[in-house]
Amino acid sequence: MGEGSEANPAEHGVWNGYAELCLYLEDQDAYEKACHRLLAHFGGPTTNPQVCERVGRACLLGVIPPADTSRAAELIELAVNTDLPPAQAWARSYFLVAQGLARYRLNDFDGAIKLNRRRLTESPRSVAAPCPCHGS
Taking only the tens place, the pLDDT of each residue in 83-117 is 888 888 888 888 888 998 999 999 998 888 887 77
Does residue 63 sit within a domain?
Answer: yes
Does residue 133 sit within a domain?
Answer: no
Rounded Cα–Cα distance for residues 40 and 125 (Å)? 34
pLDDT at 132: 44
Q: What is the pTM (predicted TM-score) of this model?
A: 0.77
Does residue 74 sit within a domain?
Answer: yes
Does residue 82 sit within a domain?
Answer: yes
Does residue 134 sit within a domain?
Answer: no
23-56: b or e for each residue (b if 16 or more CB lie within 10 Å)?
beeeeeebbbebbbbbbebbbeeeeebbbbbbbb
For residue 76, give its domain range: 3-128
Does residue 33 sit within a domain?
Answer: yes
The CATH number of the domain holding residue 111 is: 1.25.40
Percent of the chain residues topping a pLDDT of 70: 74
- Band the pLDDT of 122: cuts 50, 70, 90: low
Write out the E strands in the chain.
none
What total of structural domains would you count in the chain? 1
Half-sphere exposure (Cβ direction) of 33: Cα atoms closer than 13 Å: 10
Answer yes or no: are the C-beta atoms of 127 and 116 closer than 8 Å. Answer: yes
Residue 79 has pLDDT above 80, yes or no: yes
pLDDT at 1: 47
Rounded Cα–Cα distance for residues 110 and 17 (Å)? 29
Rounded Cα–Cα distance for residues 104 and 108 (Å)? 5
Does residue 136 sit within a domain?
Answer: no
Per-residue pLDDT tens digits for 17-68:
899 999 999 999 999 999 999 998 887 766 789 999 999 999 999 999 999 9
Does residue 135 sit within a domain?
Answer: no
